Structure 1
Amino acid sequence: MNHLSMALKNLKNNFSFYALYLLSISFVITIFFAFTSFSMNKIMLEKISGDGRVETMCNTISIFLMAFVIFYMSYSNRFFLRRRTKELGIYALLGYRKSTILSLLTAENLLSCFGAFVIGILLGGLFHKGIVFGITKLLNLTVNNSEIPFFNLNALVKTACFVFAIIIILSLSNNRFLFKSSLMDLVRFEKSAEKQTKFHAVPSIIGFLFVILGYCIALDILQGEKSVWFSVGFYAVGMLTFTLILLGTVLFIASFLPYAVQTGKKNKKKFYTETRIITSPGFIYRMRSNSKTLIMLTLLSAATLTVSSIMALTLYYPIAAISRIAPSEIECRIEKESDLSAIMEIVNNYSSGDDITFLQTDIYKVTSTARQLPMEYSVGTSKGDADNEKILRNAGFECISYSDYTAILKAQGRQKALEQFTTLNNNECIFVRYQPASGKDEAGSTYPLLINNTEIPVTVTMTTLDNPISFANSVGTLIVSDSLYKMISEHAAPETKVLSINGNSITGNEDLFQALSVYLDKIPYLQGNSHRIHEVVSLNSSTFLLIGFLVVLFFIATGSILYFNNISAIADSKSDYDILTKMGYTNRKIKKIIRKQVITFFSIPFLFGLADCIFATLVYKTALMQNLLANSLVLYAPTILAIALTLIIYLIYYCMTVHTCCKMVLEK
């Protein structure tokens, strides 16, 4: 019998055991081939990348992708090699040379990788087509799908060469293992484990304190400018926090958890139960023998959760913030009288809807003699100073009337915002903040306005984040009463005239926006809600797509390694379960024990990864994202969704693992 036929027979006889391995590496190759096809799709790259940014990202992520695939397949190969060492030892006893055994293993890898390659190419081509279709629909691109082949020849060749290189790497790894191991090592290797780690009270306490200290430093960023993140420096404190949590996680898992269980054994009432007396010693043994694997899984889980959560938040938050950056569907400045009629004509040419509203708002700049004004009203550059930011504007307020304010909000469809306001009396006003809670609460404060050389004090009745005008045209708009606004307009000329255009019939009309942009000579004061959303999605979609490839691989690797590791542990202790059966343990109780053992090693990486993800996301949002929206749980909805998705994937792998383990132990 030649090596290929022996390898094929082994795979057939153990197909149920190899099924998930074949499936997982098929998915890995699917992701790799789809990514490679996309990175070599010149038609799509020309559409979404004009500056070579996407191509550079593809090259960078490709390196990480290949390294990760090699790591995952090497780990999987090592796992199956460990499960078969006794069988390989028997081959050696029967007179097979190590070179012959190596040829058999190489043939098995060749067949497995070939099968996974075929499946991966078929699914990868389909996945690539789906990505192209999704991006063209999302970004409204004009692409002839018939010009994009189902199988990109260059991507096919690159994937085939990469898979062949992996087979060579696995063969070299197997060669090193076989020729390093003696016959006795092969026979007894299945009972060996990772180098056992001893646990003591001191490193346990240090690990616990490191983790708590790292999380406390992360929370300190909520103090704002008083935080050590600002006083010491973001990079230095960030590296310190990362180091503390990393070392703390290693010591916590390797020492604190088993130490806590070992200490808990002193409580005899809780320890001596029909399940805990089995699961606790098993947990301690696995912590001793597999602590390195569990630490690696925890860090991998933390990376998966953090990257996916931050990616979701980074995509969602800028889109949510556009409701403040550009609240109207279209907004621009009126520089001359003819602009208004010309703009209305352009809008009517692109839309005939009767729901379109045109609201012109005259903004008056009023100087204030107050010693100190809120940040929004005291900083910035003078009008038209885009090229010379050293000229600071005069401290004062950009005022609009309460009637104009409510009319714009109504046109924008912001009915909930209108409900919180009441009509202003003569000398009352409303502050529009740039950022939430930027300094003290101004409600109740009084500021003097200089109108016709006369100081008129106005009292702030409330502050709000519901700005009616885009930040490009007015930052920190002050809403004054209609009577006071009339007085201002009688003694001054408008600083700026802003036209707000709203209506469902023009929502998402990119052609209309581009036509207005051409007419207005592409001035930066032309803003649009749908246009900004389209711009954000266009700029970031390719980035998140490429990072998404890595996240999917993280999911596959983490779940599969947990699956293989738990199966290995249960298989090693199968004789112990046979003894439990003879002692009178029912199948139901044995399943309960298996579920508890498996859930422990699924929950530790997930819960630690979840904690790291929460604090990392908190630091990222607070320090690296501009805060324009009020703090609300809704802002974290994408992060919660990413965590929920990860939990579902973990539960699927958990159910598969429990099913396989129970079948392995209870089958006769």
Structure 2
Amino acid sequence: MFYFKLAIRNIKKSLGIFAPFLLATTVMFAMTFIISNISFSKGVDKLRGAQYAQFMMFAGLFIVIVFSVIIVSYSYRFLLKQRTKEFGLYNILGLNKRQISTISFWELLIALIITVITGAIIGIILSQFLFLVFVKIIGANYFNLGISPIAISLSVIVFTIIFCLLMGFALITIRRHSAISLLKDNSRSEKEPRGRVIISVLSLLLLGTAYFLALTIKNPLVAFFIFFIAALLVIIGTYLLYMGVTIFVLKRQKANKAYYYKPEHFITTSSMLYRMKTNAVGLANITILVTMTFVTIATSLALYIGVQDVVKDLFPKNTDIKTYTGSISENKNRLNAFIKDNKLENHDLSTYSNFLIQTTFNSDTADHINISSQKAPVDNMASLLFVTRDDMVKLGNTIPELKDNQLVMYPVLGKVNAKSMSWYGEDLSIIKASSKLKNLPSNYAITTSLVFVVKNEQELIKLNELFNVNNKSEMSDGGAQNVKSPINTDSLLNISEKKQRDLVTKNTDKINVSTKTEVQELMNGLTGGFLFIGFILGITFILGAALIIYYKQISEGAEDKRSYRILQEIGLTKNEVKKTINSQVLVVFFMPIIVSIIHFAAAFVMISKLIKLFGVTNMSIIITVSISTIIIITLIYFLIYRKTSKIYYRIVER
């Protein structure tokens, strides 16, 4: 009981030191509880499209748990460094290391109880609010979120494990040091580091490799796998950049006598050089967290906004009824029967026939396309849609008269300027369109996508048969069979949302009904989950960066206080001290944000490729969202740094 009371007294007495740690643990517990409560709540099962978002939730929960371990451990290690002198004093006063460890145990247990109670209360309140935001994002209308026992249990178990890890840190710190070393531990200064040329070169190689991968990637599917490799290289390269290149630059500045022997440069350079080993890790952490904030928020927001345009392009009218099992005349008869049976005759019908293929794409020259049965690299895949002139005119398009073996090409995605095409031995002449086709549903594509308008249905059937005859797939017994691409006939119409839901239930193996309402809910559930988790992670990352900045200001202020006092005693004026402090703060402020922007700029090409996997190809949306995200996060970062820098000034000037 004595140790328990002593632990409570220590926390009350040193609340200024314990408060940031308790704030960190409480915030991370609340974040973990919020995501897990929404993920495991039975209310989510009643939301249309939410099943797709739940996967995003579980992925986000894993990231937050890992991040919680990192941030809470970082906070406690800082707390331990501030309290090593106190531990040493206990040792001198007669307490052995086991007794000091017992005090630390009770302190951590009290902190865990405070964290769980406070974090749960905050989490329950915020989870209700954020659930409403989540429901709004995915376009659902169910607003009842309960409290999940699984979420509470999971959060408590995770943080109990984290606090056990913290107890391990405390035991190691207490047992590895003597009373004298504990008294002096928090006042030790770093030795001047070496030049670290090898580390500097290695950091540039890693970052250069990551940037090269990000900037040269072409295939979106490949980009998905390369992204994680590039991200790992950037993380390692960033740590080495601060530990190597920054020290190398500071040493060059020190060697430059004309620059170095000025009061503001002399003090700033010397101060940062001697402590750069510790500074490097903190600055690298801030840079990585800010970069992750840029990536998560910009990607999720661009995806969510871009997909709304994708759904609009997929559905010029809100319902598409498709059949694809017979000839064109048979298709039309089947559609007419379905439309008559469901009383859809008076809904502004538009009907067109088409066939769609995914094929290897060989451009022999700048003016000629060769489509043949010979396989080309996967990077040359293309989506080709063939329609007839009469159908496109009925959809409201103006198209010139066409002859046999003549077609009009409409590039949807990718740049193709061919004037002729060889279609399995059939020579075709291409007329390049000067505008886009109107009222034709766009095809989901992540590679080159083209629409070809042919003269009439006979030409459509001829080109379709050439494809079917010349394409075979390998069978397990070593033989081959023809790959059939049927001619589809689609009827487009606008009907009520209730009628859309009724028609979807009437899908058969001969009739396929897809509606804007159905697809919009599916995409909202998927991209809404991305957006929600993206913002939760973005907030978490920026809070982590704010916490690290705060700790840096306190620790550096404490270390610089004595140095600046000595400098004033030997003749440096208060204005010169303030000018020097401003110089150092500005350098430390700008470095992480500039490096983060460079990282994000290099990753932009890869991010745009990843977003393209969802059919979002509007680069203006991606660019606008990315620039807006950088500006807003930079302003938030500036406000955080401005607020925390006052703590540094107060400590130094005290």
TM tier, smaller: 0.7 to 0.9
| 2:434 maps to 1:462 | yes
**Residue of structure 2 equivalent to 1:192:** 188
Query: Take 1:397 and 1:360, find their aligned partners in 2: how far apart are those partners?
Result: 14
**Do residues 31 (structure 1) and 31 (structure 2) align?**
yes
Distance 1:347 1:78, change over 3 A: farther
Residue deviations 1:260-317 (CA, integer Å, cap 9, x gap): 1221234444434442222111221221344344444444444444344433444444
Matched, 1:554 2:532: no
User: Deviation at 1:326?
Assistant: 3.0
Match for residue 214 of structure 2?
218
Q: 1:574 deviation in Å?
A: 0.6
Match runs of 1:269-308 below 5 Å: 269-308=258-297
Contact 1:306 1:612 in 2 (8 A): no
- Contact kept, 8 Å, 1:433 with 1:463, in 2: the verdict is no
Question: Is the contact between residue 309 and residue 617 of structure 1 (CA under 8 Å) also seen in structure 2?
Answer: no
Q: Deviations over 1:215-258 (max 9, x none)?
A: 23432225x7xxxx99xx87997687566545543432212122
Larger mean CA deviation between 455-464 and 21-30 belongs to 455-464
Measured at CA, do residues 327 and 270 of structure 1 come closer, stay the same or move farther in structure 2, by a change above 3 Å?
farther
- The residue type paired with residue 443 of structure 2 is F
TM-score, length-normalised on structure 2?
0.76
More divergent stretch after superposition (123-132 vs 248-257)? 248-257
Percent identical across equivalent pairs?
A: 18
Is contact 1:429–1:461 with CA below 8 Å preserved after alignment? no
Distance in 1 of aligned mates of 2:275 and 2:179: 26
In structure 2, what residue type is equivalent to 1:441?
Answer: N
> Equivalent residue for 2:464?
none
State yes or no: 1:511 paired with 2:498: yes
Output the TM-score relative to the length of structure 1: 0.74
Check the 8 A contact 1:219/1:615 in 2, yes or no: yes
- Read off the aligned partner of 1:541 and give its amino acid letter: G
Residue 359 of structure 2: aligned partner? none
Say if 2:242 and 2:281, in contact at 8 Å, map to a contact too: no
Of residues 201-210 and 19-28 in structure 1, the stretch that sits farther from structure 2 once superposed is 201-210
Asked if 1 retains the 8 angstrom alpha-carbon contact of 2:303 and 2:616, the reply is no
* Pair 1:209–1:476, CA change in 2 (3 A): closer
Structure 1 equivalent of residue 155 of structure 2: 159
- Counterpart in the other structure of 1:168: 164
Match of 2:21 in 1: 21
- How far off its partner does 1:497 sit? 5.5
| Contact kept in structure 2, 1:562 and 1:602, CA below 8 Å | no
Determine which of 431, 434, 441 is the counterpart of 2:417: 441
Task: Give the residue type in structure 1 aligned to 2:417.
Answer: D
Aligned partner of residue 526 in structure 1, secondary structure: strand
CA distance in 1, matches of 2:198, 2:644: 35
Which of 473, 477, 493 is the aligned partner of 1:501? 493
Residue 359 of structure 1 contacts residue 499 of structure 1 at CA under 8 Å; is this kept in 2?
Answer: yes
Distance 1:314 1:372, change over 3 A: closer
Asked whether the equivalents of residues 39 and 55 of structure 1 are also in contact (C-alpha less than 8 Å), the reply is yes
Asked if 1:79 corresponds to 2:78, the answer is yes
**Structure 1 residues 17-57: Cα deviation after superposition (integer angstroms, max 9, x where no partner):** 54433333221111122223223312324646898x77777
2:644 corresponds to which of 634, 657, 667: 657
**Match for 1:84: what amino acid?**
R
1:461 is displaced (CA, Å) by: 4.3
2:121 maps to which residue? 122
Report deviation, 1:556. 2.3
| Secondary structure of 2:186's aligned partner | helix
**Which residue, 606, 623, 644 being the options, matches 1:636?**
623
Partners of 2:341 and 2:439 in 1: CA distance: 27
Task: Provide the C-alpha distance between the structure 2 equivalents of 1:496 and 1:221, rounded to a whole number of angstroms.
Answer: 34
Once the two structures are TM-superposed, the CA of residue 78 in structure 1 deviates from its matched residue by 1.0
Q: By how many angstroms is 1:182 displaced?
A: 0.4
Do the aligned partners of residues 190 and 320 (structure 1) sit closer, same or farther apart at CA in structure 2, a change above 3 Å counting?
same
Of stretches 203-212 and 653-662 in structure 1, the one that deviates more from structure 2 is 203-212
Q: 1:623 to 1:666 in 2, by over 3 A?
A: closer
Query: Which residue matches 1:351?
Result: none
Shift of 1:614: 3.3
State the partner residue of 1:415: none
Which 5+ residue runs of structure 2 have no aligned equivalent? 323-331, 357-361, 374-382, 461-486
SS at match of 2:245: helix
Structure 1 residue 598 displacement after superposition: 3.5
Q: Aligned pair in 2 of structure 1 residues 193, 467: CA closer, same or farther (>3 Å)?
A: farther
Candidates 409, 419, 426, aligned match of 1:431: 409
Report what 1:404 is aligned to: 394
| Distance in 2 of aligned mates of 1:66 and 1:394 | 45
SS in 2 for 1:431: strand
C-alpha contact (below 8 Å) 1:315/1:540 kept by paired residues: yes
SS of equivalent residue, structure 2 residue 77? helix
In structure 2, distance between residues paired with 1:240 and 1:141: 36
Hey, what's the Cα distance between the residues in 1 that align with 2:568 and 2:255?
A: 27
Structure 2 CA distance for partners of 1:256 and 1:122, relative to 1, 3 Å: same
Q: 1:25 to 1:432 in 2, by over 3 A?
A: same
Match of 1:352 in 2: none
Cα 1:40–1:291 shift into 2, 3 Å: same
* Cα distance between partner residues in 1 of 2:645 and 2:189: 22
Aligned residues between the structures: 598
Where does residue 43 of structure 2 map in the other structure?
A: 43
Q: How far apart in 1 are the matches of 2:237 and 2:572?
A: 39
Counterparts in 2 of 1:664 and 1:18: CA distance versus 1, 3 Å = farther
Query: 1:242-641 residue pairs with structure 2 within 5 A?
Result: 245-333=234-322, 335-340=334-339, 345=343, 358-363=348-353, 397-400=387-390, 403-406=393-396, 424=400, 430-437=408-415, 440-442=416-418, 445=419, 459-462=431-434, 464=436, 468-471=440-443, 476-478=450-452, 498-501=490-493, 510-519=497-506, 521=508, 525-542=512-529, 545-546=532-533, 549-582=536-569, 590-622=577-609, 625-626=612-613, 632-641=619-628
Deviation at 1:142, TM superposition (A): 5.6
Distance 1:66 1:261 in 2: 37
